[in-house]
Amino acid sequence: MHRTAVKKVVLEGVLDANDALAEANRQQFDHAGNFVVNMMSSPGAGKTALLEHTLDRTLGKVRIGVLEGDVQTTLDADRLARFHTPIVQVNTDAGFGGECHLDANMVRSGLAELPLHDIDVLVIENVGNLVCPAEFKVGEDARVMVYSITEGEEKPLKYPLMFRSADLVLVNKVDLLPHLHFDLELFLRNLDAVNPGVERILTSAATGEGVDEWCSWLTERAGV
Amino acid sequence: MHELAIAGHVVDIAARHADGRKVTKVYLKVGHLRQVVPSALSFSFDLVAQGTPVEDAELALEEVPAAGLCRDCGTESHLKTFPLQCQSCGGLDLEITQGEELYVESLEMEEARTKT
């Protein structure tokens, strides 16, 4: 039987469904007056450690809620529990297929448990991954990348999408500079090659260096 | 890495637009600046399409090269590699005009509907 071919124009973005949910999240954040940060990095770069400092320094001044994203465990949420600030843990392997990143749907699932009207800032601590999180909007205002100097100088060139999507790069573990063959100037040149002039702050979660500057960046943009 | 998830979305979009018809070809545009590995996407697509109206459809993947408009001198440049730089003045302040696409452009389907 002869079957003719029918052509149909579609023009639908592959991530449109995610982006629509990100927009729905955005509207919820706007309604509650939240400034939302999507915090991304490789595993172990220091996101949670920096957040511990952040919550400590801003206690009583800025109300920060945290949405923790991990494949498994509540370890990160547990670490931050002592600050008595709203925290929710989303595990991507609990009904989301064990994804290596947070998407708008997963973030949305966590929002129901956060008192958005009682916080000024929401930090979404994404799954440790230098590749995929950058692809998925979740409704954030800004993307903050944490990069540790133990990762070498060339990663911006190897993972351009992540570095290009950052609004701020926290260059972490600088207390280790005397012990590593790390060329900071080369790293910053590579960073500028993929994201010219992107804001950057040198930090150390171990010593607290740069944390005040980072907290100021956050509170200024939150309008608090 | 997440080509499987992307393939899943492509199949969903194609099946929805096919509206009961059998899909024979899916035209997908993928910009060079997206982190998509074409071979991994094709492989994932074939896998995910099984058991759907998109089963055995050909995935026609068109890779779109990156291009940008220089905000300093107004030249549009073809961007092959990082740093993304104006080919005329060397400026780094570019508005990306091409290379970030990730969309299903069109479908080819059989005329006869396979279900009512």
B109/A8 touch (CB, cutoff 8 Å), yes or no: yes
Say whether pLDDT at B7 is over 60. Answer: yes
More confidently predicted of B63 and B115: B63
The mean pLDDT of A101-122, rounded to a whole number, is 95
Residue B38 structure tokens: 């074409």
Is A120 within 8 Å of A27 (Cβ atoms)? Answer: no
Is A108 within 8 Å of A74 (Cβ atoms)? Answer: no
Share of chain A above pLDDT 70, in %: 99
Say whether pLDDT at B105 is over 90. Answer: yes
The mean pLDDT of B4-10, rounded to a whole number, is 91
The CA-atom distances, in angstroms, between B105 and each of A137, B9, B49, B60, B61 are 22, 13, 17, 10, 10
Is B68 within 8 Å of B96 (Cβ atoms)? Answer: yes
Is A73 within 8 Å of A96 (Cβ atoms)? Answer: no
Chain A residues whose beta carbon lies within 8 Å of the beta carbon of residue B93? 196
A157 at interface of B, judged by CB pairs closer than 8 A: yes
Which has the minimum average pLDDT: A27-31, A168-172, B19-23? B19-23
pLDDT digits (tens, 9 = 90+) for A39-96: 999 999 999 999 999 999 999 899 999 999 888 888 888 888 899 899 999 988 887 7
Is A123 within 8 Å of A66 (Cβ atoms)? Answer: yes
**Hey, CA dihedral for A10, A16, A20, A21, is it positive or negative?**
positive
Is A187 within 8 Å of A157 (Cβ atoms)? Answer: no
**pLDDT for the residue A74:** 87
The mean pLDDT of A6-27, rounded to a whole number, is 95
Say whether pLDDT at A4 is over 90. Answer: no
A131 at interface of B, judged by CB pairs closer than 8 A: yes
Q: What is the DSSP letter of B73?
A: T
pLDDT digits (tens, 9 = 90+) for B23-65: 999 999 999 998 788 999 999 999 999 999 999 999 999 999 9
* Mean pLDDT across chain A: 93
B81 at interface of A, judged by CB pairs closer than 8 A: no
Structural domains of chain A ordered from first start: 16-222 (3.40.50.300)
Say whether pLDDT at A3 is over 80. Answer: no
The mean pLDDT of A1-7, rounded to a whole number, is 73
Pairs of residues, one from chain A and one from chain B, whose beta carbons lie less than 8 Å apart:
88
What distance in Å separates residue B24's CA from the closest CA in chain A? Answer: 8
B29 at interface of A, judged by CB pairs closer than 8 A: no
A6/B111 touch (CB, cutoff 8 Å), yes or no: yes
By C-alpha distance, the chain B residue nearest A6 is B109
B2/A13 touch (CB, cutoff 8 Å), yes or no: no
What is the largest distance, in Å, between two alpha-carbon atoms of chain A?
A: 76
**pLDDT for the residue A2:** 56
Cβ partners under 8 Å of residue A49, min gap 6: A205, A206
Residue A15 structure tokens: 């991530």
**pLDDT for the residue B1:** 52
B9/A5 touch (CB, cutoff 8 Å), yes or no: no
Residue A181 structure tokens: 């063959």
B3-65+98-110 fold: hypothetical protein PF0899 fold (3.30.2320)
Binning pLDDT at 50, 70 and 90, where does residue B115 land? low
pLDDT digits (tens, 9 = 90+) for A188-199: 999 999 999 999
Is B12 within 8 Å of B94 (Cβ atoms)? Answer: no
B33/A194 touch (CB, cutoff 8 Å), yes or no: no
Q: Between B2, B10, B21, which is nearest A100 by CB?
A: B2
**pLDDT for the residue A97:** 74
Say whether pLDDT at B66 is over 80. Answer: yes
Chain A residues whose beta carbon lies within 8 Å of the beta carbon of residue B18? 8
**pLDDT for the residue B111:** 83
